[in-house]
């Protein structure tokens, strides 16, 4: 390794150390989980959050993760997994959700310090489902969805993520249970984003949100959006009309269900990649629903598919989030909420560490990560073990 590479590695380690301190500060101050303040208490709030961070970066279960940390800290005074779990489970779910939302909401402000989020950004909303194998919906905490991995019961979270290159921060999160409507969850995400000073220029949604309730909410909130259509009988008919030359590429459309009119939107039909030889319009074309004014669409209609492809950035974001999520078999709501939000926050801290280094290298905007997830996790793990070693 030459001197330049050595210097850059040293800078990366410094950035990772700064990220660790930032994560500890955010969680210790924003997520105030009560611990004993008696003079003979063994562990404090920082011990709790360092333990939770260790479980997150190792994707560990509480008991096995804390036992491993005790070994790695060379006999240091490390809490047990049961102490960590029991301490968290004492916090009411609603209170925990509010604290965690505040902690996550504090990170876009730090991203803005890099002169990002100062202008409107493109974002994507999606549902992140964690498979559960419970026999019931756990008093409505779990949601039902299409069967996957041997279950149709999931712990659901709606998330809002910026999909601009180099700024893929997790902006907001909402738990989605059995009795929650998707459109309400999306509206809450948008409200949270605005409160954090994030102006969403275009909201990208998958077809799971296609329907009158979501579209009416977006129209009411004056939020521009783009999503692929579900192939309802009416949409199929529109594609057939387009194939016969009876409908324009960009046209007005109104959803109907059992002869009842629903939301109106602009229907945009694009040729499907690889569908040149197809005769079935449903296989040859891809329909999109948007509330962007027709005049703005016609000005640069070819841009819409390119914009929508950015939504795949949220999929890579989910992969990154899963790198930071602790595991548990507990059904306790506060604990499970904490584990998921911790993963979102650590993902944002990793992004901030990369932005910090990119600014030092004068390479903003960030095209690709300067520090890998593995490097940050490794540095965090060493710092946590050293802190317990005393």
Nearest to 317 by CA among 346, 347, 345: 347
In this structure, what is the dihedral angle of CA atoms 114, 117, 121, 126, given to the nearest 10 degrees? 100
**CA distance to 44, 48, 49, 387, per residue, from 75 (Å):** 18, 17, 19, 12
pLDDT in tens, 147-175: 988 899 999 999 999 998 878 899 999 99
Rounded Cα distance between 336 and 93, Å, is 10
Q: What are the phi and psi torsion angles at 288 (to 5°)?
A: -120, 145
Q: What is the SS3 assignment for the chain?
A: CCHHHHHHHHHHHHHHHHHHHHHHHHHHHHCCCCCCCCCCCCCCHHHHHHHHHHHHHHCCCHHHHHHHHHHHCCCCCCCCHHHHHHHHHCCCHHHHHHHHHHHHHCHHHHHHCCCCCCCCEEEEEEEEEEEECCCCCCCCCCEEEEEECCEEEEEEEEEEEECCCCCCCEEEEEEECCCCCHHHHHHHHHHHHHHCCCCEEEEECCHHHCCHHHHHHHHHCCCCEEEECCCCHHHHHHHHHHHCCCCCCEEEEEEEECCEEEEEEEEEEEECCCCCCCCCHHHHEEEEEECCCHHHHHHCCCHHHHHHHCCHHHHHHHHHHHCCCCCCCCCCHHHHHHHHHHHHHHHHHHHHHHHHHHHHCCCCCCCCCCCCHHHHHHHHHHHHHHHHHC
Blockwise average pLDDT, block size 10, the chain, 390 residues: 68 80 89 83 88 95 94 88 94 94 91 86 93 91 91 95 88 95 96 94 94 94 95 94 95 76 90 88 95 88 87 76 93 95 94 84 71 88 87
Q: Which region, left, alpha or beta, applies to residue 172 given φ > 0 means left and ψ of -120 to 50 means alpha?
A: beta
Residues 244 and 285 sit within 8 Å (Cβ to Cβ) = no
- So where are the chain's domains? 11-101+333-389, 228-306
So what's the pLDDT on residue 149?
A: 87
For residue 81, the model assigns a pLDDT of 95
Chain-centre distance for alpha carbon 106: 15
pLDDT tens-place string over residues 50-80: 999 999 999 999 999 999 999 998 878 899 9
Pairwise CA distance, residues 106 & 29, whole Å? 11
Q: State pTM to two decimals.
A: 0.91
Question: What pLDDT does 70 receive?
Answer: 92
Provide the pLDDT for residue 51: 95
User: Can you tell me the distance from the alpha carbon of 341 to that of 347, in angstroms, rounded to the nearest whole number?
Assistant: 10
**Percentage of residues in the chain with pLDDT exceeding 70?**
95
Distance between CA 218 and CA 203 in Å, rounded?
Answer: 9
């Amino acid at each position: 390794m030459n001197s330049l590479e050595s210097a850059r590695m040293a800078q990366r380690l410094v950035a990772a150390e700064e990220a660790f301190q930032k994560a500890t500060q955010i969680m210790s101050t924003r997520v105030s989980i009560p611990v004993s303040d008696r003079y003979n208490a063994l562990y404090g709030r920082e011990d709790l959050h360092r333990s939770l961070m260790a479980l997150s970066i190792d994707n560990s279960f509480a008991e096995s993760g804390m036992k491993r940390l005790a070994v790695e800290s060379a006999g240091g005074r490390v809490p047990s997994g049961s102490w960590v779990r029991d301490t968290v489970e004492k916090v009411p779910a609603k209170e925990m959700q509010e604290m965690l939302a505040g902690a996550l909401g504090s990170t876009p402000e730090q991203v803005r310090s890099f002169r990002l989020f100062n202008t409107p950004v493109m974002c994507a909303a999606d549902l992140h489902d964690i498979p559960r194998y419970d026999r019931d919906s756990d008093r409505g905490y779990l949601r039902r969805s299409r069967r996957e991995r041997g279950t149709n019961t999931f712990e659901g979270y709606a998330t809002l993520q910026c999909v601009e290159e180099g700024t893929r921060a997790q902006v907001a999160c909402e738990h989605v249970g059995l009795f929650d409507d998707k459109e309400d969850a999306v509206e809450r995400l948008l409200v949270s984003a605005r409160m954090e000073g994030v102006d969403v220029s275009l909201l990208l949604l998958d077809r799971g949100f296609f329907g009158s309730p979501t579209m009416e909410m977006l129209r009411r909130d004056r939020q521009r959006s783009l999503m692929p259509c579900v192939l309802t009988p009416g949409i199929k008919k529109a594609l057939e009309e387009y194939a016969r030359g009876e409908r324009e590429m960009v046209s007005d459309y109104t959803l109907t269900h059992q002869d009842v009119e629903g939301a109106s939107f602009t229907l945009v039909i694009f040729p499907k990649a690889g569908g040149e030889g197809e005769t079935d319009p449903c296989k040859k074309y891809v329909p999109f629903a948007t509330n962007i004014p027709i005049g703005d669409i016609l000005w640069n209609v070819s841009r819409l598919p390119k914009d929508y492809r950015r939504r795949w950035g949220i999929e890579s974001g989910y992969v990154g989030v899963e790198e930071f999520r602790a595991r548990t078999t507990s059904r306790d709501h506060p604990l499970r909420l904490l584990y998921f939000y911790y993963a979102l926050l650590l993902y944002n801290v990793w992004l901030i560490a990369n932005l910090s280094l990119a600014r030092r290298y004068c390479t903003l905007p960030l095209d690709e990560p300067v520090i890998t997830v593995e490097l940050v996790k490794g540095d965090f793990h060493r710092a946590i073990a050293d802190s317990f070693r005393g």
